[in-house]
């Protein structure tokens, strides 16, 4: 007989407060009837902070053999983050429908014969060709998660002859967000030690829009959805939208706990940046390198936030040269 699997249940909760317990309990019953052990987040008490739930759920997922995706998981930021962690840690993911088809009581697979040999799991990467127009249409139809998922990469030829790689940082039924895998180049955020320009008036933003964006393929530029950005500059609220942008500190690290950067209502931590090692980037011939974020450093007026070579949060005077790894939305 096959050893019972520990099956972590993943799906929308906060958007289904009136029904999620019944939905998770039904899924747990299916798992038990198939002879396996459900790890059910719906049994957690109500009233904790969102980040506390996520920490507990990730600990449960860390001990799981299988991630079971309940209906609607693709519209839940938490469930998408859980799937991303499962992919990075080698935990298999199945939808509830596929689980019933594969592990239903009448379809429980037998334990494979090892013949006394040591057996290893091998995970193979597969390259697929996806037409950009088809991907964009799928996102517009709410089927983005069926086509692409966090950590998937696309290669983008620039008209300069370079090919850059962009990594899917987040996807749901409304959009797919990409960030350059490594820095395309480096430069200053401003030519003096000041962040009083905010990101909007900075040299760094001008470099992204004038020196990098025009070199993207026209087909891609036609499909990009400008991202709305909100910031306060010298006490004045500024709202604008850019087709190519530097990630915010919140994109990389989540909401600031010690106010190193301002609150950024237009941002949330992207699932691919939950771990330090996944925030590390290379720049040209420098190897791993510091790279700019668009968030001003709140403790002084001289610098902007950045990501250090170890993937940690840092800051630097605006006139120093650091890497640029922008992002875009489809």
Contact 213, 191 (CB under 8 A): no
In the predicted model, is pLDDT for residue 111 greater than 80? Answer: no
Looking at the structure, do residues 56 and 186 belong to the same domain, yes or no?
no
Looking at the structure, do residues 209 and 152 belong to the same domain, yes or no?
yes
Alpha-carbon gap, residue 78 to 91, rounded angstroms: 16
| CATH number of the domain where residue 69 is located | 3.40.50.10400
Alpha-carbon gap, residue 230 to 240, rounded angstroms: 7
Segment 163-197, tens digit of pLDDT: 999 999 999 888 999 999 999 999 999 999 999 99
Domain residues for 229? 132-329
Domain boundary among 107, 142, 167: 107
Domain count, the chain: 2
What pLDDT sits at residue 128?
66
Segment 204-254, tens digit of pLDDT: 999 999 999 999 999 999 999 999 999 999 889 999 999 999 999 999 999
Domain assignment present for residue 127? The answer is no
Looking at the structure, do residues 58 and 143 belong to the same domain, yes or no?
no
Looking at the structure, do residues 145 and 254 belong to the same domain, yes or no?
yes
Looking at the structure, do residues 312 and 170 belong to the same domain, yes or no?
yes
Question: What mean pLDDT is predicted for residues 65-69?
Answer: 93
Number of C-beta neighbours around residue 262 at 10 A? 18
Share of the chain above pLDDT 70, in %: 92
pTM: 0.67
Please enumerate in sequence order all residues whose Cβ is within 8 A of that of 230, keeping only pairs 6 or more positions apart, or say none.
237, 238, 239, 264, 265, 266
Instruction: Pick 193 or 125 by higher pLDDT.
Output: 193
What pLDDT sits at residue 109?
44
132 burial (CB, 10 Å; 0-12 / 13-18 / 19+) is middle
Domain assignment present for residue 146? The answer is yes
Instruction: Pick 117 or 190 by higher pLDDT.
Output: 190
Alpha-carbon gap, residue 179 to 326, rounded angstroms: 6
Looking at the structure, do residues 87 and 136 belong to the same domain, yes or no?
no
Token pair belonging to 18: 């009136």
Residue 122's pLDDT band, with cuts at 50, 70 and 90, is low
DSSP assignments along 51-107, one per residue = HHHHHHHHHHHHT-SEEEE-TTGGG-HHHHHHHHHHHHHT-EEEEHHHHHHHHSGGG
Domain boundary among 74, 92, 107: 107
Mean pLDDT of the chain: 88
């Amino acid at each position: 007989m096959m050893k019972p699997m520990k099956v972590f249940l993943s799906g929308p909760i906060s958007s289904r407060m009136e029904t999620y317990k019944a939905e998770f309990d039904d899924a747990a019953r299916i798992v038990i009837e198939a002879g396996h052990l459900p790890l059910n987040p719906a049994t957690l008490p109500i009233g904790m902070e969102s980040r506390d739930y996520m920490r507990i759920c990730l600990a449960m997922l860390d001990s799981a053999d299988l991630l079971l995706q309940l209906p609607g998981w693709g519209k839940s930021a938490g469930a998408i983050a859980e799937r991303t962690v499962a992919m990075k840690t080698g935990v298999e993911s199945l939808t509830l429908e596929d689980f019933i088809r594969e592990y239903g009581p009448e379809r429980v697979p037998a334990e494979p014969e090892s013949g006394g040999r040591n057996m290893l799991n091998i995970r193979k990467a597969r390259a697929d060709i996806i037409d950009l127009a088809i991907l964009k249409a799928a996102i517009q139809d709410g089927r983005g998660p069926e086509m692409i998922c966090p950590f998937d990469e696309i290669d983008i030829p620039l008209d300069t002859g370079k090919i850059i790689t962009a990594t899917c940082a987040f996807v749901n039924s409304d959009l797919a967000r990409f960030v350059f895998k490594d820095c395309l180049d480096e430069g200053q955020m401003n030519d003096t030690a000041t962040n009083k320009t905010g990101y909007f008036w900075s040299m760094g933003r001008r470099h992204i829009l004038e020196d990098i964006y025009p070199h993207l393929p026209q087909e891609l530029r036609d499909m990009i959805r400008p991202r709305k950005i909100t910031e306060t500059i010298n006490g004045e609220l500024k709202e604008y939208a850019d087709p190519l942008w530097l990630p915010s500190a919140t994109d990389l690290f989540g909401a600031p706990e010690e106010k190193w950067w301002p609150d950024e209502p237009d941002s949330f931590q992207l699932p691919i940046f939950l771990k330090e090692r996944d925030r590390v980037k290379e720049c040209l011939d420098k190897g791993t390198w510091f790279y700019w974020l668009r968030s001003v450093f709140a403790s002084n007026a001289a610098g902007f936030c950045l990501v250090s070579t170890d993937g940690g949060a840092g800051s630097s005077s605006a006139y120093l040269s650091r890497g640029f790894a922008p992002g875009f939305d489809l």
